[in-house]
Amino acid sequence: MIKEEIQKALTNANLSGALTRFSEAYVISRKKIYEGLDFEALREQIVSSKSYTADHLDELVNQFIKSATDNGAKVFFTQNPDEVRNYIIELAKKNNVKSVVKSKSMATEEIHLNKYLQEAGIEVNETDLGEWIIQLAGQRPSHMVLPAIHLTRHDVSDIFTKKVEPIEPDISRMVKFARKHLRRKFMTADMGITGANIAIAETGTLVVCTNEGNARLTMALPKIHVAVVGVEKLVAKIEDTFPILRTLARSATVQIITSYVSFVNAQTEHTDGSKKELHIILFDNNRSKLAKDPLFKQTFQCIRCASCLNVCPVFRIIGGHVFGRVYTGGIGTILTAWTEGLKASKDIQGLCIQCGNCVKVCPGKINIPDLILELRKKLAKEEGLNFKTKAIYSVVNNRKLFHTILRTASKLQKPFEKQGFIRHLPFFLSELTEQRSLPAIADVAFRDRFKNIKQPKSDRKALFYAGCLIDFAYPEIGEALVKLLNTAGIEVLFPEEQTCCGAPARYSGVMDVAANNSKQNVEALLSLNAEYIVSACPTCTVALKKQFIKDLIDQDYKEDVIKKAQEVSTKAIDASALINKLIKEGKINFKKSNEQTFTYHDPCHLIRSLNIYMEPRESLQSSGLKLIEMFESDTCCGMGGSYSLKFPEISGIILKRKLENIKKTGVKLVCTDCPGCVMQIRGGVDKEGLDIQVKHSLDILVERLQSNNEK
């Protein structure tokens, strides 16, 4: 089912075009709109106030109910979405409500309120322009802030023409058209329904932010105003609203502030002089359980700006109708699991490529990729593994068997291998080589080559953790690292018992396998004593520094094993950082000759999980290379480990965009510090027949080092 939805989205040129144009403009405009502001300080304030909400939820709910009731509002609190719908329908029947106008509200989308009101014979009209278009089209929003972003002006013109009356696809005319028709709805509505962006417990105040003024009309004109608010919108004090208001519009629509910010905390008079009714429905729908979860409580820090969607490389290809349900994108996956149930998020969990691009822009500092991994763990534990998956991971769990299979595959690949690449695969595997060529497995693995490397003896020693790709596909990267470290006076050791870092199992939620890999590696790496444990793959480095510990704790391993993992963590360092350090210390030197231009691709784990950005650039430039930055250098190449095998159609499109950005620089050399990125980009370059080299930085550095020595 999900594969069919993906294919449908991929054939929609309007969808990818609209989302890509918006995403490109968003990144540039967002950077400008935050100039002069301390974004990190604002984030910390939001984290502080919203985590307080999660920790004191019951208290704040009671405080808000009292404050709002004292202001004259009628407040109804419930755990159950059915009770929200029933309350509104009964209120409407009691007051003979025939028509309702609504402003944009994700909370009412969550409980499918419109459907139930219509079934009760009540006319419902969305008044946010995007929501009205979607309502007329019979669709659901594809984006939490920009619900109709997937539609072109021609699409909108067709919808208006079919559902209302003929109108040309001229934007200004269509806006006037919508204003004219919606104004009639406002004037005749008996009830107005809104959501709220913030609910202040101290004063019983609702804060509603809009750009079209429709929410104010929805609240002001009908005699009854109903606000449907999830309890996560609560904050303790009015001061807590300020950092949210300063970041919400900047992060959502790159504005300084929304056009209208309304503070509602009291009954007002209707135009005929009567008192308006203000009903506030606070609802839970598993949010209190979310607040009590030590990991997932951070979702209370979400201010619904959807900035995570705007920078997601997957979302801009397939959109929210595929990547999401009511709530869309990565954060939508998490909210879906809690509001609709874990199984409802099953298909969309896998769409996250784990690039972490969302984390850096989230005003609430929510680690969306990590939380999605937790959902995968829960699902794997709840549903178990099918026979095929069990078979695969039983192999990965057995180091000797796994390595034997890889060595055997290096022989069996011969009919398909040419010049180091596998360019075509037969039958159902053909999809894997449509967008890129695959690397051939090396004839001789690094672990076997290492035995023949002659090194000078030294008191300074480093253990090399190779990871699967360097060990069995790109052994030359490992050899380059050994040469560079030897030049700096460091002897390299290679524990043969090391195995896969567990990433394939970890990112699939199969934690017992990942933890077993972690334990095997910890024991292997501590079997020899060294100053450093070095990896030339950022995914492996993250495993060494962070994931091994988490895996072992998660699977309840003994304290002594966890302490060993912590010891590995303190010694672990990525090769890009260590080599840069040694260059700066004068231990590795290059002659700056034959200056060549290059561009650099930032591996996702290197820049975001390890915060390493300048170091590899500095190292390469110190060797005499001239850097030309590519557009979106820090955007995922589409590899994502096993992601490129599960979703090759999405991975391939992300790769194509990366190749276009590379070609625009005009360089003939692309450097990166991740063997997975080398595999993805080099495979794409080969498939397109481009005259461009793609190399791990270590390969380039050692080449220039060797040429210097020859001189």
Full-model pTM: 0.91
- Confidence tier at 708 by pLDDT (50, 70, 90): very low
pLDDT over 70 percentage in the chain: 93
- CA–CA distance, 653 with 676 (Å, rounded to integer): 17
348 and 312 Cβ atoms separated by less than 8 Å: no
- CA–CA distance, 431 with 651 (Å, rounded to integer): 11
The CATH number that domain 399-580 falls under is 1.20.1050
Q: Which CATH class is domain 590-710?
A: alpha beta
Beta strands in 316-439 (DSSP E): 417-418, 421-422, 438-439
Q: For the segment 492-514, what is each residue's pLDDT rounded down to a tens digit?
A: 999 999 999 999 899 988 899 99
Strands 693-696 and 669-672: parallel
- CA–CA distance, 450 with 104 (Å, rounded to integer): 62
In the chain, which residues fall in CATH 3.40.50.1860?
590-710
- CA–CA distance, 291 with 300 (Å, rounded to integer): 7
In the chain, which residues fall in CATH 3.40.50.10420?
39-289
What sections of 71-213 are H helices per DSSP? 81-94, 106-110, 113-119, 129-137, 153-163, 171-188
- Weakest-pLDDT range from 22-31, 485-494, 573-582, 663-672: 22-31
Q: For the segment 259-309, what is each residue's pLDDT rounded down to a tens digit?
A: 999 999 877 776 677 788 999 999 999 999 999 999 999 999 999 999 999
- CA–CA distance, 279 with 191 (Å, rounded to integer): 11
Q: For the segment 165-200, what is each residue's pLDDT rounded down to a tens digit?
A: 999 999 999 999 999 999 999 999 999 999 999 999
In the chain, which residues fall in CATH 1.20.1050?
399-580
What are the respective helix, strand and coil percentages of the chain, to the nearest 5?
Answer: 55, 10, 35
Listing DSSP states for 603-631 in one string gives -HIIIIIS---HHHHHHHHHTTEEE-PPT
Q: Give domain 39-289's CATH superfamily.
A: NagB/RpiA/CoA transferase-like (3.40.50.10420)
327 and 110 Cβ atoms separated by less than 8 Å: yes
3-state secondary structure of 696: strand
Provide Rg for the chain, Cα atoms.
Answer: 28
Q: Look at residue 595 in the predicted model and tell me its pLDDT.
A: 79
Q: For the segment 416-455, what is each residue's pLDDT rounded down to a tens digit?
A: 666 677 766 554 455 666 778 887 788 899 999 999 999 9
- Weakest-pLDDT range from 67-71, 261-265, 274-278, 471-475: 274-278
Q: Residue 273 is which amino acid?
A: G
Q: Is the pLDDT of residue 594 over 80?
A: no
- Confidence tier at 362 by pLDDT (50, 70, 90): very high
Q: For the segment 398-424, what is each residue's pLDDT rounded down to a tens digit?
A: 777 767 766 776 666 666 666 677 766
Instruction: Determine how many CB atoms are found less than 10 A away from the CB of residue 419.
Output: 8
